[in-house]
Structure 1
């Protein structure tokens, strides 16, 4: 069983600039089959915007996702872990802060993401969440894929 965050994390990150529209973020999420993007300026992590943020902090309030920026709805200053941190620390931080994803940073550089889905695949591979996290994305008519929560 993996002991360190680096053994479980997804090493790639997808980022948008703070002024990117929510539509841009959603299109990236769909194209890359992910549920979040990082909001960054000049390599500095400013926040995380999730598919849920877009739905609940913008669309549900009737705002135009073409005109609202990612910075306006993101979670600023997200809780982060380091690649050398124990996996149990990531689990505890997710519980404490009620989040499903944590950016992984190393000396101020964002190097990956760890999600509740990543943890399920590693820690409980026979669970429903692990099955969902490993499954291929469904396709909607007219789209290449859909984002699924991880």
Structure 2
């Protein structure tokens, strides 16, 4: 059985909810990624921040990315998948929720995207 862990990009990195969007954009550029999982103070997943979120929901609306936090962008219940989930479950989760990126969690820790 092929699992989420088999197809994920390992080494995903959290961004704290308290971090500003300009710092998130710098981290995305450094890591060459278009999305970062957002963590709360207890390192629990509280959202996903995308480069599009920064542009459309912050910059295009005239907000200063140096003053808006990642937590301000975290809306709704974040989707994630267990590292041991079958790849068909991964695809079903992504298709049914129309998402392109899905955090992979093992033992309550982020292990990939």
Larger Rg belongs to? 1
Which position in structure 2 is the counterpart of 1:65?
Answer: 65
Which position in structure 1 is the counterpart of 2:2?
Answer: 3
Aligned residue-pair number? 112
Query: Which secondary structure state, in structure 1, belongs to the residue aligned with residue 96 of structure 2?
Result: helix
Query: Which secondary structure state, in structure 2, belongs to the residue aligned with residue 101 of structure 1?
Result: coil
Query: Which secondary structure state, in structure 2, belongs to the residue aligned with residue 91 of structure 1?
Result: helix
Which position in structure 1 is the counterpart of 2:78?
Answer: 78
Alpha-carbon separation, structure 1, partners of 2:90 and 2:62:
34
CA contact (8 A) 1:19 1:69 kept: yes
Alignment of 1:1-150 (within 5 A): 3-40=2-39, 41-113=41-113
Unaligned runs of 5+ in 2: none
TM-score with structure 1 setting the length: 0.69
Unaligned runs of 5+ in 1: 114-150
Structure 1 stretch 26-35 or stretch 8-17: which is displaced more? 8-17
Cα distance, 1:83–1:93 mapped onto 2, change above 3 Å: same
CA contact (8 A) 1:78 1:103 kept: no
Cα offset, 1:77, TM superposition: 3.0
Larger RCO (CA within 8 A; separation ≥ 6)? 2
CA contact (8 A) 1:45 1:77 kept: no
TM-score with structure 2 setting the length: 0.90
